[in-house]
A and B are shown apart, each in its own frame.
Chain A
Amino acid sequence: MKTNRSNLLTDTEFVAIIFGIIAGTGIFAMPSGVVAIAKQDAWIAVFIGALYPLYIVLMAKIISNKYPGIAIMDLSKLFFGKILGNFLNFLFAAQWIFYATTIISGASNILITYAVWFMSPQQLALVFTLLLVYGASKGLNTIAKINVFGFWVFILVLATSGVAFIKGNLLNLQPVFSVDLQSLLKAGIQTAYPYTSIEMLLILPPYLKNKDKLVKLSLITVCIVIFVYLWAIITSLVYWGPDIVPKAFWPIFFVSESIQLIVISNFKFILIILWPIIYYRTLLNNYYASVTIMNNIAGGSYKVWCIVLSPIVLFPSLHYQNEVARRNLLDHVVPWITVFLIIYVTLIAVMVLIKGKANCPLQDVNTHIAPTEGE
Chain B
Amino acid sequence: MSEKYRIYLIIVLVIGFFIFITPESITVPAEKIDIITGLGIDMIQNEQGENKIQSSISVYNFTAGADSEKSSASKSVVRVSIADTLLDARERRQLSSNRKFVSSFEKVAIIGENLAKNGLNSTIDFFFYNPFSSDSAWVVVCKGQALDILQQEVKGYPDSARYIDGLIEQLQNDNFFSSEYNILHMYSGIGAEGKCVVLPYIEMVDNVLTVTGMALFKKDKMVRKIDIPEARIMNMLREKKGNGILTLQKDFKHYTSSYIQTQKKISCSKSGDKYNFTINLELKTEVMNNTLFKDMEKHDSIIAEYEQALQQQVEYMCQEFIKKMQTDYKIDCLELGEIACAKYGRGTGVDWNEIVCNSDIKVNVKVKVERFGRGRYTIQ
Q: Which residues of A contact B (CB under 8 A)?
A: 39-40, 113-114, 118-119, 123, 126-127, 130, 169, 171-172, 174-175, 178, 239-244, 247-248, 254, 257-258, 260, 265-266
Contact = CB atoms under 8 A, between A and B. Distances in A.
Given A118-B26, A127-B19, A113 B131 contact: yes
B131 A257 contact: no
Contact of B342 (A175, A243, A257, A258): A175
A114 B347 contact: no
A351 B104 CA distance: 60
11 contacts: A39-B347, A40-B346, A118-B23, A119-B19, A174-B343, A178-B346, A243-B191, A257-B184, A258-B135, A260-B136, A266-B134
A47 B184 CA distance: 30
Given A172-B342, A174-B343, 14 more contacts: A39-B346, A40-B346, A118-B26, A126-B19, A171-B339, A171-B342, A175-B346, A240-B187, A240-B188, A243-B192, A247-B191, A254-B135, A258-B135, A258-B184
B120 to A, nearest CB: 15
Contacts of B13: none
B105 A265 contact: yes
B334 to A, nearest CB: 14
Interface of B: 15, 19, 22-23, 26, 104-105, 128, 131, 134-136, 184, 187-188, 191-193, 195, 338-339, 342-347
Contacts of B343: 174-175
Contacts of B15: 126, 130
Contacts of B347: 39
Nearest to A170: B342
A178 B187 contact: no
Contacts of B345: 175, 178
Contact of B193 (A240, A243, A247): A243
A296 B358 CA distance: 72
A321 B343 CA distance: 43
B191 A171 contact: no
Contacts of B22: 118
A180 to B, nearest CB: 11
Contacts of A240: 187-188, 192
A299 to B, nearest CB: 26
B8 to A, nearest CB: 10
A178 B346 CA distance: 9
Contacts of B342: 171-172, 174-175
A244 B338 contact: no
A184 to B, nearest CB: 14
Contact of A123 (B19, B26, B131, B338): B19
A179 B86 CA distance: 39
Contacts of A243: 191-193
A328 B23 CA distance: 33
A240 B339 CA distance: 15
Nearest to B27: A118
B134 A241 contact: no
B338 to A, nearest CB: 6
A242 B346 contact: yes
A247 B135 contact: no
A110 to B, nearest CB: 10
Contacts of B131: 113-114
Contacts of A123: 19
